[in-house]
A and B are shown apart, each in its own frame.
Chain A
Amino acid sequence: MVVEDKFYNLIFAIFILQFREHDMEKLFFLTFAAIAVISALAVVSVRNPVHSAIALIVCLFQVAAVFILLRSPFLAAVQVFIYVGAVMVLFLFVIMMLDIKRAVITSFLPSGRFWIIALLLLLIGEIVFTLADSKLVDIQMAQASLDGTVMEIGKAMFSTYLLPFEIVSVILLVALMAAIVMGRKEIK
């Protein structure tokens, strides 16, 4: 009997985090958030533009992970799909053609650009100030389940938010056409 108890205790110790769901979530959130902030800082402080792009990819991944913690797997998948899978590939595609050696010499943060840091601190202060004052902090999030969100998003998009949805598509279409027009060679 005693041996059995010890055995269970051992397993319990291994999986202890598994059973305190909220603590587990907090831990995950803190990990993701910390990595996201660190990688976001790396984006602007690393010298090599390719390394910055990689840091940005890492950051976007963490945001996707936070979406999962917010019970929105659809947004997480779309985040990875569009930002990581397409937008960043195109970024890298352009960066890869740069003359890296020249780009490395000019760095973003140090050397006489302290006003940027000052501006950054100001912005952070503003965010903290508004958040501390706003009602957003007190809102209790509904415990949504992980199922059926895709259908709900689709229904909301095509009924409640139909007009904004259509406006966004028109704007995207215009931007698309503009890109094609600007990218074309002049035909004489």
Chain B
Amino acid sequence: MPDVNTLIEVALIIVKVVIVSMILFSLPLPLTWLERKIAGHIQLRLGPFRVGPHGVLQPLADMIKLMFKEDITPYKADKWLFRLSPIVAMVPAFAVYATIPFGNTVTVPFINKEISLHIADMNVGILYVLAIGGITVYGIMLGGWASNSKYALLGGIRASAQMVSYEIALTFSCVGVVMIANSLSLVDIVHTQKGAILGILPNWNIFYQPLGFIIFLIAALAETNRIPFDLPEDEGTLAAGYHVEYSGMRFAFFMLTEYLAMVTVSVLSVILFFGGWNSPPLVPETLNNLIPPIFWFIGKVAVFIYFFMWLRFTLPRYRYDQLMTIGWKILLPLSLLNILITGLLLI
């Protein structure tokens, strides 16, 4: 007879996985609306306004449109790969969340059981996130190649070169945080950021690793293929880049991946540099008891998502040679310097 406790554990993991994937699947809906609204307001217009009050139902309308569009596979495409690559891009974007801690443990009412708000606490957490996150590039590359179109191929090639270049700087910028936390586990990294410096400033890594954070942010922007580094889908020169031949749901999968990548990057910034679910120290105790830690986490992530959207409508796009120069000649040496400084300070 199986042990009831083990059964509950297994069931809990399944429930967590389902909940997290459901949330991630539906997250792009509000995010596309938000992005358009923010774009509109930055450019002094209203943004979507027709479907529902203030256009809130616009993403639903878009979703219905995408679902009923014809799914075109180009005649000369590599059919098998063409159909596979949106999924190859999308799966790692979800898989990353297996190790993300969303909050401290909470006690569930009715069954009176403490559950942790992460699916798995791996002792190689950050390495796992970076490794799996890097796989998304295959979807983009293969999508570009399989379309058998010049624009798509160029987009795919640009994406692969860009993502490999910036992955190095991204990884090295995380090393400083790992050195401070003395652990690769994301849960441990958040736990070391508890408390306050001098009673006022929160004990977050951003204050120990300002250079690391700036490198992380820039490299992460490049990894997510967003402006100012969105050269793989540069609409001015490449039509739409790697997804130019895609339509309908497959195109939607690529968009979903892109939005999830932005969320992942925001989540990672919060966990690595902004204390995860820890509240700022000046918040009074009574308020702190009222607000569960996960709300701090979500709030911080929301700020970052807003920041990334804000950047998109503020900055122009870089040239491709500038992109490579920034990655290899500026960010990589700086990230190595950051590791050196961190090492010297930790002695």
Contact = CB atoms under 8 A, between A and B. Distances in A.
Interface of A: 8, 11-12, 15, 18-19, 48, 50-51, 54, 57, 73-74, 76-78, 80-81, 84-86, 89-90, 92-93, 96-97, 146-150
7 contacts: A12-B1, A15-B2, A15-B7, A90-B164, A92-B145, A96-B156, A146-B123
A149 B123 contact: yes
B124 A89 contact: no
Interface of B: 1-3, 6-7, 10, 78, 81, 122-124, 127-128, 130-132, 134-135, 137-138, 141-142, 144-145, 153, 156-157, 160-161, 163-164, 167, 184
A97 B144 CA distance: 12
A148 B156 CA distance: 39
B134 A86 contact: yes
A11 B2 contact: yes
Contact of A50 (B81, B132, B135): B81
Interface of A is mostly: helix
A89 B156 contact: no
B127 A78 contact: yes
A99 to B, nearest CB: 12
A77 B128 contact: yes
Given A74-B127, A77-B124, A89 B137 contact: yes
A179 B30 CA distance: 47
Contact of B131 (A11, A50, A81): A81
A76 B123 CA distance: 12
Given A15-B7, A84-B135, A92-B138, 7 more contacts: A19-B6, A50-B81, A54-B142, A77-B124, A77-B128, A96-B144, A146-B123
Nearest to A19: B2
Contact of A85 (B7, B124, B134, B184): B134
Contacts of A15: 2, 7, 10
A78 B122 CA distance: 14
Contacts of B81: 50-51, 54
A89 B2 contact: no
